[in-house]
Amino acid sequence: MVEQLQQFGFAPDVAPIATQWLGKLKSERRVSAKTLEAYTRDLGQFAAFLNDHLGEAATIPSLSALEVSDFRSFMAKRRAAAIESRTLSRQLSSIRSFFRYAERNGHFKCAALSAVRSPKIAHSVPRPLSEEQAQRITTEVILENSHAWVNARDLAVLMLLYGCGLRISEALSLNLKQAEENPLVVLGKGGKTRLVPVVQAATDAIAAYCKLCPFQLSAKTLLFRGAKGGPLSPRIIQLLIERLRGALNLPDSATPHALRHSFASHLLGNGADLRVIQDLLGHASLSSTQIYTEVNRKHLLEQYQKAFPTA
């Protein structure tokens, strides 16, 4: 890791501090491997920028002497690379975290960073499918492939996304033993586990897939397999949804993750408690779940306008 950060542009006196910070994130905060990779990439890109911006590898004295304009220059360069506000905000958050760690442990302090504002993120709401559209996707998938076991596999995956609200990574990481349990014990973001009840349609779809799968499935091996028996790639499901989107004339917002949004939105629309939906989705904060109330309110207004266009 030290060599990697030195290669990005950090001087030898800074690279060990960055490595210690990443180690703390992994051991104490227990961030996921993907999150740790994102932090490393964010800090590496900042180090590479400073190497070019300062004309030398970033040292402790040079990091301490950075000004607001330096951080703004980094953000401007990332903007020029077509980086969106949400990603840029996350990168700035990673940099802040590293600098806070360095200050708390007496390595260096940069007062200018506290005056740097994060970019504004446009307010957006999830775009779930209608109940009819979601049902059409899970119905038409059986016509997609000439191999019955592949159709059964794809249907089982989609039923876990829509019927249980799983992320695609969560569904594809299940093993046979987990899939046979109800409720499911799901390992979500940040290594957090949650219990998710399995609807009968999903249970039936998984059983049908297991019966038809040509590869041997054991308790601790991955449940969903690719055409050659290896782990099923998320890209296969993404391409499947793309094909169904065209065949069924669905909006561009129809993606595997939209099925998870649909799960939450349809539960809320049918009277489910917001706290229950939060637990089922594995959201750490209720504010992440509350956005679905806005989705339903928008849908209600749209239906009202259709029914009473002159109101």
User: Any idea which residues carry the catalytic annotation?
Assistant: 167, 189, 257, 260, 283, 292
Question: Is residue 60 packed enough to be buried (19+ CB in 10 Å), middle (13-18) or exposed (0-12)?
Answer: middle
Residue 183: closest CA among 164, 167, 169: 164
Question: What is the gyration radius of the CA atoms in the chain, in angstroms?
Answer: 24
Cα–Cα distance for residue pair 144/236, rounded to 1 Å: 12
Contact 175, 258 (CB under 8 A): no
Contact 107, 70 (CB under 8 A): no
The torsion angle over the Cα atoms of residues 6, 7, 10 and 13, rounded to 10 degrees, is: 20
- At position 302, the amino acid (one-letter code) is E
- At position 63, the amino acid (one-letter code) is L
H runs (alpha helix) in the chain: 2-8, 15-27, 33-54, 60-64, 68-80, 85-104, 131-140, 148-164, 168-172, 176-179, 200-212, 234-247, 256-269, 274-281, 286-307
Cα–Cα distance for residue pair 183/136, rounded to 1 Å: 26
CB atoms within 10 A of CB 193: 10
